[in-house]
Amino acid sequence: MRTSMLFTLLCINSLLFAQRDFSKVQITSEKITEDVHVLFGAGGNIGLAIGKEAAYLIDDQFGPLTDKIVAHVQTLTKKPIHFVLNTHVHGDHTGGNANLANAGAMIIAHENVRKRMEEADTPRAKEAFPVVTFNDKMTLYLGNGKSIHAMHVNPAHTDGDTYYYFPEDNVIHMGDNFFSGRYPYIDIGSGGDIDGLISNVSMALNIVDDATKIIPGHGSVSSKQDLKNYLDVLVTLRERVTKARAEGKSLEETQKMGLSKEWDQTHGQGFINPDRIIEFIYLSAD
Ligand SMILES: [Zn+2]
């Protein structure tokens, strides 16, 4: 009894400590082309495209950071943020939706992003919901000869994953289909799937060329070669894990085999450790 109470208290404590202190977060940015920037802070990378009349954001990190994000955008352009496009539903990419909508932005995302927000156990402010949804593709024309192509891809990280491609600038934001140089999170509870991830990354490799700047959901701006390296890791791990599974190994046994050992030091030190990437693949590979 006493032990279980102590355990409960410890859990509550760790939940409280898990509440992040955003006051220390600094927003920085990198200029990719004349009209496209990427912003870093806490959570998913933010794409910024500057059109003729307006600024367009791809994702918006966490709600407490909105003021800092907007202030940083204003150092890059005086145009108002009229559009926010989400790569998927997770709170580290959509947490600023409500604030930005209240400030006059239109929130746009795949229809499954809205659906998952509507059905979430922890309700969000209605203002966070996308007010324009699409089910496959959509193009935005920025009035300066530039465009943003939204492409819904196979369920991979979640079932609302969208790539935003800027053909005139040769830039693509891949959301959390790309964790550059690290193991990806596959949110199986939100429709995530390793096979979808591998097919989406392969598809992206057919769109990009050696000059394309790739914005990953997490990590630095990357190249086609970086994306190839990431795909190689996923494909090799999938092969090894499905082989072990086919031989009848349990998940726990598979996790003890050291199947990812050559990348664990570089890729497995962050949010997703070696056991978790093995688990995602074990549970979701066909
Ligand atoms: Zn995510």
Question: Given phi > 0 = left and psi -120 to 50 = alpha, else beta, which region is 262?
Answer: alpha
- From first to last of its 286 residues, what are the pLDDT tens digits of the chain? 344 444 444 444 344 445 689 999 999 999 999 999 999 999 999 999 999 999 999 999 999 999 999 999 999 999 999 999 999 999 999 999 999 999 999 999 999 999 999 999 988 999 999 999 999 999 999 999 999 999 999 999 999 999 999 999 999 999 999 999 999 999 999 999 999 999 999 999 999 999 999 999 999 999 999 999 999 999 999 999 999 999 999 999 999 999 999 999 999 998 899 999 999 999 999 9
Please indicate, yes or no, if residue 7 is contained in any of the structural domains. no
Give the separation between CA 180 and CA 172, rounded to whole angstroms.
13
Report how far ligand 1's centroid is from the alpha carbon of 90 (Å).
Answer: 5
Cβ 100 vs Cβ 129: under 8 Å? no
Give me the sign of the Cα torsion angle 245, 156, 159, 267. positive
Please indicate, yes or no, if residue 140 is contained in any of the structural domains. yes
Domain with 143 in it: 25-284
Please indicate, yes or no, if residue 15 is contained in any of the structural domains. no
Report how far ligand 1's centroid is from the alpha carbon of 193 (Å).
Answer: 13
Give the separation between CA 26 and CA 267, rounded to whole angstroms.
24
Q: What is the pLDDT of residue 146?
A: 98
Report how far ligand 1's centroid is from the alpha carbon of 52 (Å).
Answer: 30
* Residue 88 tokens, joined: 């998927």
Please indicate, yes or no, if residue 171 is contained in any of the structural domains. yes
Count the domains in the chain.
Answer: 1
Give the separation between CA 247 and CA 39, rounded to whole angstroms.
45
Give the separation between CA 183 and CA 263, rounded to whole angstroms.
9
CATH of the domain at 100: 3.60.15.10
Report how far ligand 1's centroid is from the alpha carbon of 245 (Å).
Answer: 27
Question: How much is the pTM?
Answer: 0.92
φ, ψ of residue 259 in degrees (nearest 5): -70, -20
What's the residue count for the chain?
286
Residue type, 187: D
Report how far ligand 1's centroid is from the alpha carbon of 176 (Å).
Answer: 5
DSSP assignment of 30-41 equals: EE-SSSEEEEES
Burial (Cβ within 10 Å: 0-12, 13-18, ≥19) of residue 100: buried
Please indicate, yes or no, if residue 229 is contained in any of the structural domains. yes
Q: What is the pLDDT of residue 18?
A: 53
Please indicate, yes or no, if residue 4 is contained in any of the structural domains. no
Give the separation between CA 79 and CA 102, rounded to whole angstroms.
17
Please indicate, yes or no, if residue 44 is contained in any of the structural domains. yes
Report how far ligand 1's centroid is from the alpha carbon of 174 (Å).
Answer: 11
Report how far ligand 1's centroid is from the alpha carbon of 217 (Å).
Answer: 7
Q: What is the pLDDT of residue 10?
A: 42
Report how far ligand 1's centroid is from the alpha carbon of 104 (Å).
Answer: 25
Q: What is the pLDDT of residue 20?
A: 82
Please indicate, yes or no, if residue 17 is contained in any of the structural domains. no
* Residue 74 tokens, joined: 């204003």
